[in-house]
Amino acid sequence: MAEINETARDVAVTAHDLPLHCPRPGAPLWARHPRVFLDVLKGDEAVCPYCGTKYTFTGEKPRGHH
């Protein structure tokens, strides 16, 4: 499951969180913006163009994404 660092807005995600989109489920209403899907598998990280949150993929990639 996603692990959040509140101060730096860095979020570690795993295969369980795919397909990845921002904002994440359960985000407070004030933190919502239009949903955008992010390809975190391409370079092991992606940054949301709306809020700047950086998502970093950790763990084993799903089959077919090497």
The pLDDT, as a whole number, for residue 59 is 92
Q: Where is pLDDT greater, at 7 or 14?
A: 14
The pLDDT, as a whole number, for residue 7 is 47
Does this model's pTM top 0.85? no
Instruction: Return d(Cα 65, Cα 39) in angstroms, integer.
Output: 11
> Tens of pLDDT along 11-63?
999 999 999 999 998 888 888 899 999 999 999 999 999 999 999 999 998 88
Domain boundaries, the chain: 1-25+41-61
Element (H, E) at 11: strand 10-13
The pLDDT, as a whole number, for residue 9 is 86
